[in-house]
Structure 1
Amino acid sequence: MTEGEKRSVAPDGGWGWVIIAGCFLTTICTRAITRCISIFFVEFHTHFSSDYSSTAWIPSLVDCTTMLCAPLGSYLANHLSCRVAVMVGGLLSSVGLVLSSFASSLEFLYLSLGILTGLGFALSYTPAISMVGIYFSERKALAYGIAMSGSGIGTVVLAPVVQILIDSYSWRGAVLILGGLVSHLCVCGALMRPLSSNKQSVTPVLADSELTGSADSKTLCEMALSKNKAGENRDKKGCIIIPSLVEYSFLLIPDFLLLSVSFLFLAFGCNVPFVYIVPYSLSIGFSHQLATLLMSVLGVMGIVGNITFGWISDRKFLRRYRVVSYLVAVGLEGLSCLFVPLFRSFPLLLPFVICYGYFDGAYVALLPVVISDTVGPTHLSSALGVVYFLHAIPYLISPPIGGWLLDNTGSYTAVFLLCGSSLICSASVLAVVTVAQCCNRRSFISSISGD
C-alpha cells in the first residue's frame, strides 16, 4: 500500500470526531430548523389569512428544495470540496431566512424560505453527512448516530426557543434570528477537512458484458474501481473508458434501485407528523406551550433513537443485519401513526410522540449506513444525493395533500392514516429487498461451492 493510500484509510477517530461535531451542528442548522418551521405554521396561516393547503406549501418547499438539489451538493463536494459546499450553503440559507423576515405574502415566502433557504440547506446537508462516512468504517453506525442526533437535539432546544422568540419579537423577528443562527454553517464548513490531501481520480472501465449483467451485482462498482487503480484506459476487448459512470455506476446495482422505491414511500410519510403534530395538538385544545412540548419530546426521543440504534447496529453480531434494524424502525414508526386519531388527550398523545420520535431517530441514523453498505463508501456522497433527490417530490406534495385532506374532511384522521400507510409500504418493499438479498447471497455461495 502506498503512502497516499494509507492516508485515505478511514481512521475511525482523530479528526473524524471534529467532522462529527461539524455534521452535528450542520444537522441542527438544517433539519432541526426545517422541523421548527411547523411552529410558524399557525402564525403564517393567521397573518396571511390563507387556507391550510396554501400554508403547507412553505415547509414542503423547504424540504423539497433541500432534497431536489441534493445532487448539486454532492457535485460541489466531489468536484470542489465539502468545505466549499457547506460554506456556500450556509451563506445562501442565511440570506433566505433574513429575506423571509420581510415577507409580504405567502408567494414571497415560497421563494425566500422555500427555494433559497432550501437550496442552501441542500448544499450543506449532503456533503456534511458524506464526510462522516469517509472518516469512519468500523464505528460508522455510531458515528452517524451521534452526528444525526443534532436534528433531535436541535428540535428539543429550538422548539421552545422559537416559540419564545415568536411571543417576544413576532414571527418576523424569530425568522430573522434564525437567519443569524444558520450563518454558523460557514463555521461548520471550515471544519470539513479532506481526509487525504491527494485527490485520487476514479474512472471506471466497463465492458458491455459487465454493464448488462454479473453474478454478484454489488461487485460492479468494485470492478470499476479496481480497473482504475490498475491504470487501464481500455479493457481486454478494447472497450473505451466511460467517464460519465464514475460517480453513478451504483445506479446499476439492483439492490439500490429497490431500496430507492422504499425510500419514495418513506419520504411521502415521514415528514407529515412534523408538519401537523402542532396544529393537531392545538385543534384538540392544547395550549401553545403544551403543543411545543410535544415537539421537544419528539426531538428528545429522536436523539435516543439516533444514538442507541447506532450503537446497537455496530455490534459485531448485528452489523450484517443493519437493513433489518432499519426495516423494523420504519415499520413501527408507520404503525404508530395509524393510532394518532384515537389520541385526543396529552397522556395518550405523549406515548405516540415518544414512539414515533424514537424510531424516526433510528431510521435517520441508519439510512446513510444502509446506503453505504449497499453502494460502498466511495459512492456514498453521490448515492446520498440521488436518494435525497428522490425524497424531493414526496416531500413537496405530502404536506399540501395533508392540508387538502384537512380542508375537505375537517379532520386530521385521513392525514395520519395516509402517513402511516406510506411508512408501512416502505417497510414492506424493504422486506422484499432483504429477502431477495438473502436468496441472492445463498445462490451465489452455492454456485461458488459447486465450482
Structure 2
Amino acid sequence: MNFVARSEANRFYGWFVVAAAFVITLVGFGSAYTFSSFVGPLQREFGASRGSVSLVFSLAGCLYFALGVVSGPIADRWGVRKLAAIGMGLVGLGLILAARSHTLRQVYVAYTLGIGIGVGCAYVPTLGAVQRWFVKRRGLASGLAVSGIGVGTLVMPPLASWLIANFAWRGAYLALGIVAIGLGVGAALLMENDPGSRGQHPDGRQAGAQAPETLREGLSVREALRTARFRGLYLGCLVGSVGVFVPFVHLVPYATDRGIRVGTAVWLLGAIGIGSTFGRFLLGNVADRIGRGRFLVSMYVGMAASLAIWAFGGTPVPLFAFALTFGLFYGGWVAILPAVAADCFGAKHLGAIIGALYTSVAIGTLIGPSSAGFIYDFTHRYAWAIAISAASSGVAAVVTAMALKVSR
C-alpha cells in the first residue's frame, strides 16, 4: 500500500491536466465548429440569408474569445476546475436550447450565450493552467492540449451531419448538447490550476531542483499591456483572425455551391481537423527547438499561402489539399500562441494576459465569418472574402515579426 501511495504521489499530474484540456477543447470547439453543417438547414428553416446565419457563429466566437479577459483573472484567483465545469455545462445547455428555437433570433441567443459564454469560461483558464504545469516542454504540452480542437473539428462536423440527416437539425443539436455536458463537465473536474496545488513542480521537477521559471515570476496585466510586444502581438492576432475562421463557416457552403455533395463537403472540415491535429501534435517540439516566436510568424505565413489554394479550388482534390494544409498551420498557430505569451510575459498572471490578448481574436472572429457571408450575399461569390482572408494572415505575419523582432 505504501508503494502504491508513493507511486501516486510521484506521478506528475501535469499530463492529466493536458488530457483534460484536450477533452475540453475537443468538446467546446468541436461543438462550435459543427456550425458549418447547420448553415443550410438554418437558412431553409428560417428563410434567412447566408450572412445573417453566419452572424450566429461570429457572435458566439466573438464572445468566447472576448470573455477570456474576464474568465482568465477569475481562474487565476479561484481556480480553473469550477469555471471550466460551468463553461462546459453552458455549452451543452446552449445547444439544447438551440434545438428548441422557433426563430433565428432565438438561435442567436441560445447559441451565442451557450457556446459563447460556455467556451469563454473554459478555454482561456484551461490554457493558462496548462502553461503553469510546464516550462521546458511548454510548446509540446500546449500543442497536445489544444489538439482537442483539431480532433473535434475532425469528428464533430461529420457527426453533426449524420445526426442532421437522421434526426433533423433540432435532434442533432439536442444530441450534441447531451454529449457536451457529459464529456465536457467530466473532463473539467480533472483540471488543476497549478503544480503547487498537488505539491508538485513544473515539468515534474523534484523539490529543490533549479527552475528556470517559477509561478511567482511574470508581469502584471497592466505591465504587459504597456509593452510594445503585447501591442504588436495583439494587432497581429486581430488582423490575422479576420481570415482564420472564415473556412470554418463557409468552406462547406462553398463546396456545395460547386456541386459537391454535402456528405463529401462536410469532410473538408474533417480534413482541417486532421491537418490541425498534426499541427498541434507534431509541431510543438519544432517550436521549442527553432524558437516559438519565429514559429508563430511562420504559421501566419503558412495560413496565407494555403488560403491561395482555396481561391483556385473548385473540385474535391484541391479543396482537400487546402483543408489539410490550412489545418496544419492553423493548428500550429493555436498551439503556440499561449506559449509565446508565457515566454513574453511570464506565468504569474498568464490567464489574465491570455484573456486580454484573445480579445483581439474576438474582434477578428466577429468581423471575418459574418463579413464573408454578407460579401457572398452581395456578389454571389467567395473570391473577395478568400482574398481578404489571405491578405489578413500575411499582414499578421509582418506585424508579429516586427513585434517579436524575429529575424532569419
TM-score (norm 1): 0.81
| RMSD after superposition | 2.3
Q: Cα offset for 1:12?
A: 12
Q: Cα offset for 1:246?
A: 4.5
* Runs of at least 5 residues in structure 1 that lack an aligned partner in the other structure: 1-10, 200-221, 229-244, 439-451
Q: Cα offset for 1:117?
A: 2.5
Amino acid at match of 1:401: S
The answer to whether 1:174 aligns with 2:172 is: yes
Tell me, in whole angstroms, the C-alpha distance in 1 between the residues paired with 2:273 and 2:148: 9
Q: Cα offset for 1:379?
A: 2.4
Q: Cα offset for 1:13?
A: 7.4
Q: Cα offset for 1:271?
A: 0.4
The answer to whether 1:88 aligns with 2:81 is: no
Correspondence list, 1:58-73, <5 A? 58-73=56-71
Aligned residue for 1:64, secondary structure, equals helix
Aligned residue for 2:47, secondary structure, equals coil
1:339-372 CA distances to partner (integer Å, 9 max, x unpaired)? 4232111122221111111111111111111111
Contact 1:12/1:135 (<8 A) preserved: no
Match of 2:261 in 1: 287
Aligned match for 2:135, one of 118, 137, 140: 137
Aligned residue for 1:305, secondary structure, equals helix
Tell me, in whole angstroms, the C-alpha distance in 2 between the residues paired with 1:308 and 1:336: 19
Contact 2:32/2:115 (<8 A) preserved: no
The answer to whether 1:34 aligns with 2:40 is: no
Q: Cα offset for 1:111?
A: 0.7
Amino acid at match of 1:259: L
Aligned match for 1:408, one of 355, 358, 378: 378
1:78-132 CA distances to partner (integer Å, 9 max, x unpaired)? 2211011101112222211111100111100111101233101100111111111
Match of 2:157 in 1: 159
Contact 1:141/1:314 (<8 A) preserved: yes
TM-score (norm 2): 0.89
Amino acid at match of 2:394: I
Contact 1:12/1:139 (<8 A) preserved: no
Aligned residue for 2:314, secondary structure, equals coil
1:273-296 CA distances to partner (integer Å, 9 max, x unpaired)? 111100000001100111012111
Tell me, in whole angstroms, the C-alpha distance in 2 between the residues paired with 1:304 and 1:88: 30
Tell me, in whole angstroms, the C-alpha distance in 2 between the residues paired with 1:190 and 1:393: 30
Match of 1:267 in 2: 241
The answer to whether 1:192 aligns with 2:162 is: no
1:32-90 CA distances to partner (integer Å, 9 max, x unpaired)? 22111111111111111101111111111110110121122112202211011101112
Correspondence list, 1:182-261, <5 A? 182-183=180-181, 184-194=183-193, 195-197=195-197, 246-261=220-235
Contact 2:220/2:348 (<8 A) preserved: no
Aligned match for 2:364, one of 365, 387, 394: 394
Tell me, in whole angstroms, the C-alpha distance in 1 between the residues paired with 2:273 and 2:307: 17
Identical amino acids, percent of aligned pairs: 27
Amino acid at match of 1:165: L
Correspondence list, 1:403-442, <5 A? 403-435=373-405
* Runs of at least 5 residues in structure 2 that lack an aligned partner in the other structure: 1-8, 200-212
Match of 1:115 in 2: 113
Match of 1:300 in 2: 274
Tell me, in whole angstroms, the C-alpha distance in 1 between the residues paired with 2:247 and 2:329: 13
Contact 1:248/1:382 (<8 A) preserved: no
Match of 2:348 in 1: 378
Tell me, in whole angstroms, the C-alpha distance in 2 between the residues paired with 1:282 and 1:120: 31
Tell me, in whole angstroms, the C-alpha distance in 1 between the residues paired with 2:268 and 2:115: 26
1:241-279 CA distances to partner (integer Å, 9 max, x unpaired)? xxxx95432112221111111011111110001111000
Contact 1:100/1:109 (<8 A) preserved: yes
Tell me, in whole angstroms, the C-alpha distance in 2 between the residues paired with 1:55 and 1:193: 37
Contact 1:124/1:185 (<8 A) preserved: no
1:201-232 CA distances to partner (integer Å, 9 max, x unpaired)? xxxxxxxxxxxxxxxxxxxxx9xx67x9xxxx
Match of 2:293 in 1: 323
Contact 2:234/2:357 (<8 A) preserved: yes
Cα distance change of structure 1 residues 166 and 405 upon mapping to structure 2, 3 Å threshold: same
Aligned match for 2:48, one of 47, 50, 54: 50
Contact 2:150/2:275 (<8 A) preserved: yes
Tell me, in whole angstroms, the C-alpha distance in 2 between the residues paired with 1:40 and 1:159: 9
Match of 1:369 in 2: 339
* Greater alpha carbon shift after TM alignment, 414-423 vs 66-75: 66-75
The answer to whether 1:332 aligns with 2:302 is: yes
* Higher Rg of the two aligned structures: 1
Tell me, in whole angstroms, the C-alpha distance in 2 between the residues paired with 1:70 and 1:263: 14
Contact 2:309/2:318 (<8 A) preserved: no
Tell me, in whole angstroms, the C-alpha distance in 1 between the residues paired with 2:322 and 2:231: 32
Contact 1:86/1:123 (<8 A) preserved: yes
Match of 2:286 in 1: 312
Match of 1:103 in 2: 101
Q: Give the aligned length.
A: 384
* Greater alpha carbon shift after TM alignment, 388-397 vs 264-273: 388-397
